[in-house]
């Protein structure tokens, strides 16, 4: 039981780390201003809506 809980925790941490890395990549690609939201979403695995939200944050 403890080993299973630890394995699940490690898996969750890895997924969160990947998500944070993909979000950072999306923000950097937005700053470059070369790709569309759809291209950034495809490259990072995020949704177009998430990329659009980052772009909106960047404008504020």
**Which DSSP string do the residues of 6-19 spell out, in sequence order?**
HHHHHHHHHHHHHH
In the chain, the number of structural domains is 1
* Residue 28, pLDDT score: 97
What is the CB neighbour count within 10 angstroms for residue 43? 14
Tokens 């909106």 locate to 56
Query: Structural domain of residue 35, as residue ranges?
Result: 2-59
* Residue 58, pLDDT score: 80
* Residue 13, pLDDT score: 95
* Residue 59, pLDDT score: 79
Instruction: Render pLDDT for 19-49 as a digit per residue (tens, 0 to 9).
Output: 999 999 999 999 999 999 999 999 999 999 9
């Amino acid at each position: 039981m403890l080993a299973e809980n630890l394995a699940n925790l490690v898996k969750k941490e890895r997924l969160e780390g990947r998500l944070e890395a993909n979000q950072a990549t999306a923000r950097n690609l937005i700053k470059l201003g070369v790709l569309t939201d759809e291209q950034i979403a495809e490259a990072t695995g995020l949704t177009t809506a998430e990329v659009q939200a980052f772009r909106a944050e960047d404008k504020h």
